[in-house]
Amino acid sequence: MRRMTGVLAGAVVVQLFTTPVGAQETIELKASTFVPPTQWFVKEGLEPWAKEMHKLTGGKVHIRIFAGNSPFGNIANQDDQVAAGVTDIAWGLNGVPAGRYPRTSIMEIPLVATSAEAAAKTLWSMRKTYLAKDFKRFKLLNLNCTNGIGFALKNKVATKLDDLKGLRIRSPSSKMQSLLQFIGAVPVTMGPGQLYESLQKGTLDGAVTGWDGVRGFRLEDVIKNYYAAKMAVICFHVVMNKKRYDGLPADVRKAIDETTAKWVDSFPKQWDNADEVARASALAKGVVETKATNADRANWRNRLKPVINRMISNVEKEGVPNARKIYDVMIKRAAIYEK
């Protein structure tokens, strides 16, 4: 009994009513994520989806949601749990573990896209062609990204990249580590849960994050400035165990396909909403925002060419010989979706 209690800790169970005796057999799907239960992906993504699936299938499908505070919440285990059949669905971070989705992660190279919408729609348009090999083990339900991220800074006011020189800045990916090194900052690798204390104690000078991350990890209480550079996007995926999906009744598969297809439009809007709320909250607490311009970013494209070329070469070395082609296609399509 104690073991079962532990497994269910942190789970959000969406069950609208008990199936009456003699009714059709119910189907339970376990969906996990590494984010806390208050994050928009749980509250505005998975929970409404669970209710929609329940309704569309006449009460047949029940989706049990395990957030980041559950035993299934380890960020590095999301996809492995799905592959092993421990969970059925997971929302994971493309860059963790590193190197697992090399084609898709090209989107996270600096300045490929600046908006959640452009990044998500670009990835989704490429999922069956250039990116297909990345997710061949799974039934891919969604690809989504943050809006362009910036630099949350404890004290420093940054108006240009050179202002970041010498600062100890937490990086969320290997690509951002390379960028920070290139501009003379000191990249630091740590879990997001350590950010608040590290900034508070002064062992960190800043963190690469979006506005949603500022609020989600309470950084608004320990930073004074935010440099809204829109330097890169951080991307995620929602995958499902392929065997589990294939074994479901046709009407359930249809319901999954139809409901998750809408996420390519709805998730970017959720990123926008989350960022707007977080930005307003931080500014109300006295955080000062400095915005980079489109002209700044155009100049950065030229300045950062050496490190960007190195990132593309690294992806080629990971076994993606057409990495440059994928990068070029992403640049072109993202530019179209940005308009």
> Which pLDDT does position 11 carry in this prediction?
52
pLDDT for res 190:
86
Q: Residue 147's pLDDT is what?
A: 97
The 10s digit of each residue's pLDDT in 311-322 is 999 999 999 999
Domains and CATH numbers, the chain: 2-94+137-144+236-274 (3.40.190.170), 150-232+281-338 (3.40.190.170)
Mean pLDDT to the nearest integer, 19-32: 73
Tell me the pLDDT tens digit for each residue of 213-272: 999 889 999 999 999 999 999 999 999 999 999 999 999 999 999 999 999 999 999 999
Q: Which two tokens stand for residue 268?
A: 């970017």
308-313 mean pLDDT: 97
Share of the chain above pLDDT 70, in %: 93
- For the stretch 141-178, pLDDT in tens is 999 999 999 999 999 999 999 999 999 999 988 899 99
Greater pLDDT, 5 or 88: 88
What pLDDT band is residue 192 in, cutting at 50, 70 and 90?
confident
**Is pLDDT above 80 for 23?**
no
